[in-house]
Every structure is written in C-alpha cells, then in structure tokens.
Amino acid sequence: MIEIQEASVTYPNGVHALREINLRVEKGEFVFLVGATGAGKSTLLKLITRELLPTRGKVIVAGRNVAEIPPQEVPYYRRMMGVVFQDFGLLPNKTVWENVAFALRVLGLPRKEIRKRTANAVDLVGLLRRCDSFPAQLSGGEAQRVAIARAIANDPPLLLADEPTGNLDPDTSWDIMQLLSHINIRGTTVLVASHDKYVIDRMRKRVVMLERGAIVSDVPCGVYAHEP
Amino acid sequence: MNLSHIEFLVEEALVNLRRNGLMTLAAIGTVALALAVFGGFGLIIWRLERLANSLPPKFAVDVFLKDSVSRQRAQELQKEFETHPNIASVTFKPKEQAWPEFQKELQQEITAALPYNPLPDSFIIQLKDPSRTGDVSKWLKSLPEVDAVRDAKEEVDIILSVATVVRWIGIAGTILLLIATSVIIYNAVRLTVFARRREIRVMQLIGATSGTIRAPFVLEGVVQGLLGAWIACGLIFGVSQLVSHFVMRKLVFIESLGGSPMPVWVVFVVLSVLGAVIGGAVSTLSVRKYLQVV
C-alpha cells in the first residue's frame, strides 16, 4: 500500500526532518508511528498526503510515485485516504452531519448516496444522536469521532491519523483507538502517528519508532517503550 | 460540473455568509464605506465637470454685418457659415428684430428719440467646440461683409481650463480612490479568508479540488461586494438628497447650469459592477495563497 524508499526531507531552513527513511506498509495493516515531538512523524504523514515532496528518495502509494502526480490531480489522489488530525479539523460552521456529508459533497456524489454514506459513517462512530450539533458543542472524544466519520465516509482504502488522541483523556483515547482498530478490521489500512504510550502499549500493533528523522526500530507487535 | 455540484457551491457560499455573520458584516461594511466615498467623490467630480462643460456653449459668437450687405448676400453667408466644420448653428437676426429687443432692454424713451434703427443685421453663431472660438472669430473678422465680431474668448478660455483641471483631478482621484477602495476591500476579505485557512487545508485533504474550494469564497466575495455597493448607493442618495434639499435650493443657478443630474441607475449599475468585480477578484487573490500545491 505504501512504500517509502530512501526518502529524505530537508526544510528550506536547513532542518533535516527525515533522513533516508525506508518503510513498507502492506494493505490492511495497522501501524503506529511513534517518537517524540519533532521526530518526523507528521512530516512522514505529509509525504503520504502529498503536502510535502521528498527532497530525495521516493514515496509510492498504491503503486503511484507521489512526486509524479501533477498538482491538478492531487485532490483526486487524496480521495483515496482519510485524514484525522489532533485538533479534529472540523469545519466550525457546519453541524456534525454537514461535516461528514461535506467530504462526500466535494466529490460530487448524488444526494441519495451522500445521505446513505453519511448516515453509515455517523452511525459507525456512534453519533447519530448528535447529528445537528456544531463542533463547539461536542466533547473532545465526540469531535474526534466526527472527524473519523468524515475520514471514512468515502470508504477510502487508507486512513491516516496524526496524534488523534493528543487532546483526549486516557479512557476516551482508548475508545478512539478501538474505533480505529475496528475500521482497520473492516479492511482499511491505518497509519497512526502518536506518542500516547498508554494506548500504544495496550494495542499490540506494529510500532515504527522515529528519532530525529530516522527510523530506529520497527517491531510487529511492539510497545512504545521498546528498546532497539 | 453537474447541477447538484453548482447547487452545492452556491449553498456553501450562502451558509458561510450566514454563519460567519460578524466577518461578513465587517466585510460588507468596509465595502459599503469604501464604495460610498468612491461613488460620492465620483458624483461630485461628474457634476463639476458637467457644470464646467455646460458653460462655454452659452457664449455664442455675435457677428455684425456691414450696412451695405444685402439680405440676399446675408442668406448666402448663412449657408456658408452652416457648412463650416466648427459651427453648430447659425441664427440670423435682422435689424428689424434686434431693434425692439434693444429698446426693451434699454429705456424706450431714450431710443425712441432716435429717428432710425442704428443696429446692423447680425448672426448668432453657436460653436461645436468652444475651444476654437479664437480661430472662428478670426476667420469671421476676415470676411469683407463683416463689420464686427463679438465673442467671449477670454471667459471661455478660463472656463475651459477650469474644466480641464477638474477633469484631470477627477480622473486621477477616481483612479487613486479605486486603488484605495480595492486595497481596503482586499484587506477585509483577506482577514475573513485568513480566519478560515484551517478549513481550506481540511478541504484540501478531503480531496476537494481548488475550484471547489475557491468557488464559495469567490461567490461570497461577489455577494459581499454587491450588498456593500447597494448600501453605498443608499448612503450616496441619502446624502445627495440632503445636500440638494438644503444647499441646492439656495443656489438654483447651479442646478440650471449643471444640466440633468446623473441618472440614479448609472450610479447603481457602476457601483454594483465595481462591488461585485472587486469582491470576487480580491476573494480569488486571498484564497490563492492557501491553495498552492507543492
């Protein structure tokens, strides 16, 4: 699904965000990207969403070299992935329902289809009762559920989450991870950047550890604390 | 792009306008004030120029013929004058007609004492281009049948130079104000876009095309521009009504000299078009910065 070959990212200010990363993620996997703030987790995700291009090396997603996608095709490329942010990234002027439906409306789907898929996604995250609420009226956990519903509404093969539990308490974090795990079981490849030791250790998933822009360990059923 | 997609974009714009209430109001208010100043200034300049331009044609050239010129020759001269490229109209005033008018103007007792009509036959000539008064007068004076020519060259020259100055001030002022107006509106709209830059990133990651992201912003800009323009029109007409009520009434001659006032719909159309175009353009510019793809 994702293949990163010898990818380096150097920002214009000279900071080496990633150094010769090699990473392969198979279809249907659940992978944690862990590491301290500034280790390069978000940069790695941005390579996949094509918000950044590697300074050197290659990023191949679903068989396509990301760098070769022309800018006008980038929106269509991004429709194959859902993205979840630490700060939820909900549109503040839209209700829960509208936020989820929005992701489908920009794709130009027919109304009936939008209604059906929105209902499915909102139901999956358990928020059918809060459909008419605005983001400001939701708890952190609920807001993140809406963001996840939006990310999966289009049923993309890939789900990226950047610190999805960073703003949540441990119990809520655990619920959110369970939700992501559930989505993974349905067949979606899930990539989660996190430093939430509590949930990572309990999930027993593949853990890729980054340190100052390099991968220092990659363990199939790992824990955050794993020493290389 | 199908119909439901267009419907979606329009709906987006309208919902955003409503739910970003304060920002929308701030932008509309800015547009309204900027366009009101622009439109008000434009209206004043326009009236001044009209006023200046309407004066010179009132100064006709009077041509007095020698006594020896026959009526038949006078008719020939009239035809000749009428074909002159700078002459708009020629009116023949025979001495029999001029005399009673002259008597009426003066006191009849004095003129009644005169045993004969001392006035010559004359022409009243209106020029097409008042700035050519000097040339035409000179040509008329050179004719053997002409005794004297009376023009208002000096007065016309002064008024024409005033009109030119007014016109240039008007053009320069209009351009400057247009730039200032655009910059002010651009700043107001840029703020509203800046406040929503997160939304733009989210939309990009959802896979919205640049066009889909931009369209609602541009539509919002156009609607804000239009609403602002209409408020500006209201302000301008309100103020101009007050001015004409309290000032113009006392200066009736300005009204009579200024020709017909600028039709309401011209101001309305000009400001609406400006508001919509500026609103749409600055929205496009403001959003562009956030739409760049690496």
* Element (DSSP H or E) covering residue A24: strand A16-25
* Element (DSSP H or E) covering residue B267: helix B264-291
Q: Are B139 and B221 within one domain? A: no
Judged by a CB distance cut-off of 8 A, whether residue B201 touches chain A is: yes
Q: Which of A58-62, B10-14, B254-258 has the lowest mean pLDDT?
A: B254-258
Note whether A188 and A152 are within 8 A (CB): yes
Among all residues of chain A, which has the CA nearest to that of B195? A92
Q: Are B32 and B172 within one domain? A: yes
Q: How does residue A162 score in pLDDT terms, banded at 50, 70 and 90?
A: very high
Task: Residue A75: list chain B partners with CB under 8 A.
Answer: 204, 207-210, 212
Q: Are B265 and B286 within one domain? A: yes
pLDDT in the model for residue B262: 60
Mutate to test the interface with A, among B202, B210, B220 (most CBs of A within 10 A): B202
Q: Are B116 and B173 within one domain? A: no
Q: How does residue B248 score in pLDDT terms, banded at 50, 70 and 90?
A: low
pLDDT in the model for residue A29: 94
Mean predicted confidence (pLDDT) in A116-136: 92
Q: How does residue A159 score in pLDDT terms, banded at 50, 70 and 90?
A: very high
Q: Are B120 and B265 within one domain? A: no
Q: How many domains does chain B have?
A: 2
Q: Are B164 and B45 within one domain? A: yes
Given the structure tokens 């609607």, which residue do they identify?
A: B223
What digits encode the pLDDT tens for the residues A167-207? 888 888 998 999 999 999 999 999 999 988 888 888 889 99
Out of B130, B151, B172, a domain closes at B151
User: How many angstroms separate the CA of residue A80 from the nearest CA in chain B?
Assistant: 9
Q: Are B51 and B70 within one domain? A: no
Token pair of B194 as six digits:
């800046």
Task: Residue A74: list chain B partners with CB under 8 A.
Answer: 293
Q: How does residue B77 score in pLDDT terms, banded at 50, 70 and 90?
A: confident
Structural domain harbouring B124:
60-151
What digits encode the pLDDT tens for the residues A127-141? 999 999 999 999 988
pLDDT in the model for residue A81: 93
User: How many angstroms separate the CA of residue B293 from the nearest CA in chain A?
Assistant: 6
User: How high does pLDDT run on average in chain A?
Assistant: 90
CB contact under 8 A, B19 and A79: no
Q: How does residue A228 score in pLDDT terms, banded at 50, 70 and 90?
A: very low
Bigger pLDDT: B225 or B294? B225
Q: What is the secondary structure of A49-113 as a DSSP string?
A: HTSS--SEEEEEETTEEGGGS-GGGHHHHHTTEEEE-TT----TTS-HHHHHHHHHHTTT--HHH
Query: Which candidate, B267, B276, B154, B172, places its Cα nearest to that of B226?
Result: B276
CATH number at residue B72: 3.30.70.3040
User: How many angstroms separate the CA of residue A197 from the nearest CA in chain B?
Assistant: 27
Burial of B33 (0-12, 13-18, 19+ CB in 10 A): middle
pLDDT in the model for residue B260: 52
Give A60's contacts (C-beta < 8 A, 6+ positions apart): A2, A3, A4, A5, A66
Among all residues of chain B, which has the CA nearest to that of A48? B205
pLDDT in the model for residue B124: 87
User: How many angstroms separate the CA of residue A106 from the nearest CA in chain B?
Assistant: 5
Indicate if the pLDDT at residue B57 is higher than 70. no
Compute chain B's Rg from CA coordinates.
31
Note whether A32 and A19 are within 8 A (CB): no
Give B278's contacts (C-beta < 8 A, 6+ positions apart): B31, B181, B182, B185, B225
Q: How does residue B256 score in pLDDT terms, banded at 50, 70 and 90?
A: very low
Q: How does residue A64 score in pLDDT terms, banded at 50, 70 and 90?
A: very high
Give A112's contacts (C-beta < 8 A, 6+ positions apart): none
Given the structure tokens 């007014």, which residue do they identify?
A: B166
Judged by a CB distance cut-off of 8 A, whether residue B203 touches chain A is: yes
Q: Which of B18-22, B108-112, B140-144 has the lowest mean pLDDT?
A: B108-112
Out of B123, B151, B179, a domain closes at B151
What digits encode the pLDDT tens for the residues B262-275? 667 888 899 999 99
Mean predicted confidence (pLDDT) in B152-164: 78
Note whether B80 and B72 are within 8 A (CB): no
Indicate if the pLDDT at residue A225 is higher than 70. no
For chains A and B, CB pairs below 8 A equal 65
Mean predicted confidence (pLDDT) in A61-90: 90
Q: Are B48 and B72 within one domain? A: no
What digits encode the pLDDT tens for the residues B112-141? 667 777 788 888 888 887 778 888 888 888
What digits encode the pLDDT tens for the residues A8-42? 999 888 888 999 999 999 999 999 999 888 888 99
Among all residues of chain B, which has the CA nearest to that of A148? B206
ipTM entry: 0.81
Q: Where are the beta strands (DSSP E) in chain B?
A: 61-65, 87-93, 122-127, 146-150
Indicate if the pLDDT at residue A122 is higher than 50. yes
DSSP summary character for residue B196 = T
User: How high does pLDDT run on average in chain B?
Assistant: 80
Indicate if the pLDDT at residue A224 is higher than 80. no
Indicate if the pLDDT at residue B103 is higher than 80. no
Judged by a CB distance cut-off of 8 A, whether residue B58 touches chain A is: no
Cα distance between residue A102 and residue A118, in whole Å: 9
Q: Are B47 and B178 within one domain? A: yes
Task: Residue B211: list chain A partners with CB under 8 A.
Answer: none
Task: Residue A92: list chain B partners with CB under 8 A.
Answer: 199
Task: Residue A50: list chain B partners with CB under 8 A.
Answer: 293-294
CB contact under 8 A, B209 and A89: no
User: How many angstroms separate the CA of residue A83 from the nearest CA in chain B?
Assistant: 7
CB contact under 8 A, A107 and B207: yes
CB contact under 8 A, B206 and A150: yes
Cα distance between residue B58 and residue B48, in whole Å: 16
Q: Are B50 and B64 within one domain? A: no
Given the structure tokens 């701030």, which residue do they identify?
A: B26
CB contact under 8 A, B207 and A150: no
Q: Are B165 and B253 within one domain? A: yes
Q: How does residue B67 score in pLDDT terms, banded at 50, 70 and 90?
A: confident
User: How many angstroms separate the CA of residue A227 from the nearest CA in chain B?
Assistant: 34
pLDDT in the model for residue B160: 77
Bigger pLDDT: B226 or A225? B226
CB contact under 8 A, A53 and B294: yes
Q: How many CA atoms, within 13 angstroms, populate the side-chain half-sphere of residue B225? A: 27
Query: Which candidate, B159, B4, B277, B44, places its Cα nearest to that of A105?
Result: B4
Closest partner residue to B293 (CB to CB) among A71, A76, A154 is A71
Out of B151, B166, B181, a domain closes at B151
DSSP summary character for residue A224 = T
Query: Which candidate, B118, B157, B121, places its Cα nearest to that of B137?
Result: B157
Q: Are B74 and B45 within one domain? A: no
pLDDT in the model for residue A2: 92
Mutate to test the interface with A, among B18, B205, B294 (most CBs of A within 10 A): B205
Query: Which candidate, A79, A25, A89, A21, places its Cα nearest to that of A49?
Result: A79
User: How many angstroms separate the CA of residue A66 from the nearest CA in chain B?
Assistant: 11
